Amino acid sequence: MPVQNARETITQTVLSWEGVTAAPHRFGGTEYLLGQREIGHTHGDSLVDIPFPTRVRDEIVAAGLAQPHHVLPESGWVSFYIRQPADVEQALKLLRRSYDIARKQRRNRE
């Protein structure tokens, strides 16, 4: 069961991070971008998909913090299901980790 206003809360928080913009996601939902790089996207109030380097994805899945991506389980993406209000905070922690990795990689390229 979705958590009412989860997407709205996530969007407001993620857009407060420096350099992040939001756009419609090609498969529905809202994606969050740092420049051209997607740091994750929501599907309504119940699902967040987030990209990570495969090593980080493996750590997150092994720790039980998220599941392999629901469509591309062998990729670096994870899926996080929002089932209760406390899950919104966990989704934000995962999105923040993706954002921090993207920022670090961006700085290293510059």
Tokens 């992040």 correspond to: 20
Q: Residue 1: what pLDDT?
A: 65
Q: What H or E segment, with its residue span, contains residue 77? A: strand 77-81
d(Cα 96, Cα 89) in Å, to the nearest integer? 10
Q: What is the pLDDT along the chain (110 residues), one digit of tens a residue?
A: 678 999 999 999 999 999 999 999 988 889 999 999 999 999 999 999 999 999 999 999 999 999 999 988 889 999 999 999 999 999 999 999 999 999 998 888 87
pTM over 0.85? The answer is: yes
Q: Residue 106: what pLDDT?
A: 86
